[in-house]
Amino acid sequence: MNAEIIAVGSELLTPQRLDTNSLFLTDQLNALGVEVVTKYVVGDDRDLLADTVRRAMARSRIVILSGGLGPTEDDVTRDAVALALDRKMVFHSEIADQLEQRFRQAGRKMAEVNRRQAFIIEGAEILPNDRGTAPGQWIDDSDVSIMLLPGPPHELKAMFTRQCLPRLERVVPQQVIRTLVFRVAGMAESDLDQTISPVYKKYNNPVTTILAGEGDIQVHLRARCSNEADAAALLAEVAGPIELLLGDRIYSRNGEPLEAIVGELLQKHHATLSVAESVTGGLLAQRITSVPGSSNYFLGGFITYSRKMKADLLGVSEDILAQHGAISKETAEAMAIGARRRTGSTFALSITGEAGPDPSENVPVGTMFVGLADASGTQVVHRQFFGDRPRIRVFATQMALDLLRKKCGLVGV
C-alpha cells in the first residue's frame, strides 16, 4: 500500500526551512508496511494545493497533509481539501467553545480569527489536538484515507500517534514488523560500518540503516515477515553478530539516548550526579535534565565560565589555574572534585576546553578535558575534536556521558 505526504506552507519553500514532519510520518508508515511514493511541499495557495491533493488521491490510498490548519488567512488546507473533494465546510460551535475556553484558561482573550479553526470538512472525523489549537481531520473518500494534521511537529506527532495510527491499522493489511536500534557513542561512522557491514550486507530483510550524529551513531534494523516468530528470528540472525562485534560500545538497544541510559544506571546504583561546566556552558546539565525524573539522581551543577568563578564556586586553586591554565587536565580534575564536594554527589563530571570560533590560552579550538570524580578518585580524559562551536560542544558532552556510563556500567557503586 502506498502513501503520499503533502507539507503545506510558503515558509517551507524558503531557503531556511525544511519539512521534517515527513520523516516522522515515513517512519511510522514504513512500520505499518506502507511505502511513501511522493512527497510534496506546496505554498499557501488553495487552488494549487487542491490540485495536488487530487493528484495524490489518484495514485495512492493514503494522503497525509501537514500544516496550514492555523487561524490565519494563509492557512488554506481545510479549504483546499474541501475543494478537491467537492465537499462543504461545516462550522462546529463546540470546537469554537473549546478554543475560547483554552484561551480563557491561559488568561487571554481569544482573537476572533481563531474561529476559522472550527470549520470541518463535511463528513470528516475530528481529530482532537491536545497540544495546540488546530484540530485535525480524517476523511475517507471512496478508497482513499486523507489526514489533515497540524504543522508543529509536537502537535503532529501526538495527533498521528493517538488518532491516526489506530485508524490506519484498520485500513492497512497486517504485517509483522520488528525493529531494533543499537546506539553507539564515540565511534567514527566509517569505522563502525567497516566493522559490521560484512554482517548486514548479506541481508535485504532486515533492512539495516546507519545514522551518524555528533559523537553518536544509530544502527536501525527492520525485519518484515508474515508472522512474529519469523520476524524475531530474522532480526536475531543479524543483530546477534552485530552486538558481538560492537561489544560495550553499544550503549542502548531500544533507541534511548545516552542521557537516559546514564540516568537509569545511576538510579540502579542509587547514585547521584553533579556537573561543573566551563566551555559547554550548561549543555551537559541540560541534556541530563531533559530526561523526565532526572531530579531523582541529578543534584545540581556549576557553570564556571571565568577563572574567578572556577576559583570562587568550585574552589579550583589559583595555583592550578596559573600553572596549568583553565583548559588543562589539572583544572578539569579540580573542577570535578569541587563540584562533588559542594553538592555531596556520588559522581561529578567536569568539562573544560575551547569550542571556538577563536583559540584561547594557546589552546587549539576543539581541545577538551573531561573529568570524572567519585569516592575512589578522579580520572580525566583529553580529546581533540573537529568542527564548529555547536558540534564541538555536543561532542564534549557525549564524551562526558559515555565516560560516566562506562564507570557506572563496569563498576558497582
Residues 279-338 that bind a copy of itself (CB under 8 A): 280-286, 288-290, 292, 294-295, 298-306, 308-309, 312-313
Work out whether 90 is an interface residue with a copy of itself (CB under 8 A).
no
Which residue in the set 141, 193, 256, 264 belongs to the binding site for a copy of itself (CB under 8 A)? 193
Yes or no: say if 195 and 208 are a contact pair by the CB < 8 Å rule. Answer: no
Q: Is 208 exposed, middle or buried (0-12, 13-18, 19+ CB in 10 A)?
A: buried
Q: Which is nearer to a copy of itself, 126 or 212 (CB)?
A: 212
Work out whether 246 is an interface residue with a copy of itself (CB under 8 A).
no
Nearest alpha carbon to residue 80 among 129, 123, 44, 104? 44
Least distance (Å) between residue 343 CB and a copy of itself: 6
Least distance (Å) between residue 145 CB and a copy of itself: 19
Q: Which is nearer to a copy of itself, 246 or 409 (CB)?
A: 246
Work out whether 113 is an interface residue with a copy of itself (CB under 8 A).
yes
Where does 207-252 have alpha helices with state H? 228-246
Which residue in the set 93, 142, 190, 376 belongs to the binding site for a copy of itself (CB under 8 A)? 190
Yes or no: say if 117 and 71 are a contact pair by the CB < 8 Å rule. Answer: yes
Least distance (Å) between residue 293 CB and a copy of itself: 9
Task: Show the 3-state SS of 133-190.
Answer: CCCEEEEEECCEEEEEECCCHHHHHHHHHHHHHHHHHHHCCCCEEEEEEEEEECCCHH
Subset of 43-82 contacting a copy of itself (CB under 8 A): 43, 45, 48, 52, 55, 59, 70-74
Q: Which amino acid is at 389?
A: R
- Please state, as a whole number, how many other Cβ atoms lie within 10 Å of the Cβ of residue 305: 13
Angle between helices 329-343 and 307-314 (to 10 degrees): 40
Least distance (Å) between residue 123 CB and a copy of itself: 28
User: CA-to-CA distance for 102 and 112, rounded, in angstroms?
Assistant: 14
Work out whether 143 is an interface residue with a copy of itself (CB under 8 A).
no
Least distance (Å) between residue 229 CB and a copy of itself: 25
- ∠ CA 409-410-413, nearest 5°, is 80
Q: Which is nearer to a copy of itself, 107 or 377 (CB)?
A: 107
Work out whether 17 is an interface residue with a copy of itself (CB under 8 A).
yes
Work out whether 376 is an interface residue with a copy of itself (CB under 8 A).
no
